[in-house]
Chain A
Amino acid sequence: MLKMIGITAVLLSSVMFGFYLTRKLRRHIEILSSLREIMLTFKREISYRMTPMSDLFGMCSDLSVSEFTGCISDGLQKGRSLGESVKAAEENTNCMSELTGTERAFVLQTLSDLGGTDVESQISMLENAVQTVDEFINIAKENKAKNSKVYFTMSLYIGIAIAIIFI
């Protein structure tokens, strides 16, 4: 009986680990998609309503990076520069840690450069950023398709192997 419980525990934890790894890949795509959504919202708001930057960052409360954007909005409202606010948000929240080094550098640089020019320049800047984020999303999706099954199966097999060794 004890052996059965042990085997079930080992198998469950290995399956959970597999889920955790695939979830990380999903979360990665989710964050990139939220950033894309943010950029499109910014583009729309800037072109039609000229919403101020601190309000723009405060508007993204329903997205998975809301903690990060909320932190930037707070920083701007406290009178900090955009660069400082973005940096502080990166340090104080963990959204950006899910991204790769290149993705993180691009996103942080893009956000820090916002708001310094006229409407047309802002829109073209955001359109270019959306294109780049699209490329990141495609790569992340390919990566997920390639790896999620591998992670899940591998962790299951490792679990079975451990269980067999214990028996």
Chain B
Amino acid sequence: MTDSTKYILDCFGEKLSLAAAPYIRDLTEIRIRADRPVVIYIKNRPYAVLSDTTVSPLNKLPENPLIISANELKTAFAHMCEYSVYKHQNDINSGFITVRGGHRIGLCGTAVILNNEIKTVSELTSLNIRIAAEYLGCADEFFKLTDFENGVLICGVPCSGKTTLLRDIARQLTVMYFHKVSVIDERLEISSMYRGRTPFDLGLSDIYCGYPKLSAIIQSIRTMSPDYIVCDELTGSDAQGVLSAVNFGVKLLASVHCDSVKNAVKNPSIMKLLKTGAFQKVVFLDELIPCKIKEIYDPEDLKCLK
């Protein structure tokens, strides 16, 4: 994974590469804003990169920060896309791309709208590079604490390790429990598939990349006969697909964005998903320690709280 991280750093020039090199294994995010100081996150803590290729904790704006110009940012972006920006066009319109090594780059710029749809993003101004991580065994606690024989919905804030956890769940289900698992990876977040290969260990899972969730769930049920379907970031609109899985007796392990029980019961999307009956447990992840389970609820408890 460090090779691909180094590749990304190199795209922004030697200075950033040198400054971040000592921390490359602990990098969690790199935030580049055009003509503004570069900030890197080491173990989820922000550090400013200085022009003398050192870093300092981001307590205040540094006097001699490393600045990446708008033009450099544009060139680096093309480089990270391996000069195949056209290949990522749909992802760019959705606001992110996945690059070599499975790292996800969030994009911010000026949207070009045509017929009420984002046609492209011009003048990129900010990039948020989330360094992909793999922690083999991070799902051990999940298997100990939950009744995974039935469906489980994993809730957590961004960077709480939902995707990392799902990855290890898929791996363990196939190589330790010998179940048939289909991974539905619409936005290439779980597998980070790159040229038909995933940099992560997903065991013996069948991976559906880039398919819309509903199509993938239906195709998977019809053709791959999975025991489990693993998918990331469900929304209320995915309820129909979830229901299809339930009707065919396939168990679902999925994640949603949500920080607390309080907000979960207020979230109509989550309640809609729970109403499908696909999930027998709702797991909330810790905000500070990635992949750590904070609370486990029965869906009925949440419905009562509502």
Contact = CB atoms under 8 A, between A and B. Distances in A.
Interface stretch (A50-58, A62-70, A146-154): A50-58
Interface string B86-123: 11010010000000000000000000000000001000
Interface in A52-96: 52-54, 76, 79, 81-82
Given A115-B78, A118-B120, A50 B7 contact: no
Nearest to B84: A52
Interface in B44-84: 74-75, 78-79, 81-84
Nearest to A121: B86
A149 to B, nearest CB: 44
B89 A79 contact: no
B85 interface: yes
Contact of B10 (A79, A116, A119, A122): A79
B20 to A, nearest CB: 16
Q: Categorize the interface residue count of chain A.
A: 10 to 19
> Binding site of A, secondary structure by majority: helix, strand, loop or mixed?
loop
A59 to B, nearest CB: 13
A114 interface: yes
Contact of B82 (A46, A52, A118, A122): A52
A54 B84 CA distance: 9
Contacts of A79: 7, 10
A117 interface: yes
Nearest to B195: A52
A115 B89 contact: no
A115 B88 CA distance: 11
A116 B78 contact: yes
Contact of A116 (B7, B85, B89, B195): B85
B87 A52 contact: yes
A116 B78 CA distance: 5
B87 A50 contact: yes
Scoring A53, A76, A119 by chain B CB atoms within 10 A of each residue's CB, the highest score goes to A53
Given A118-B89, A119-B89, A53 B120 contact: no
27 contacts: A46-B86, A50-B87, A51-B87, A52-B84, A52-B87, A52-B195, A54-B82, A76-B82, A76-B83, A79-B7, A81-B75, A81-B79, A82-B78, A82-B79, A114-B83, A115-B78, A115-B81, A115-B82, A115-B83, A116-B78, A116-B83, A116-B85, A117-B85, A118-B85, A118-B86, A118-B120, A122-B86
Interface of A: 46, 50-54, 76, 79, 81-82, 114-119, 122
* A-B pairs with lowest CB-CB distance, top 9: A115-B83, A53-B83, A116-B78, A52-B84, A119-B86, A50-B87, A82-B83, A53-B84, A118-B89
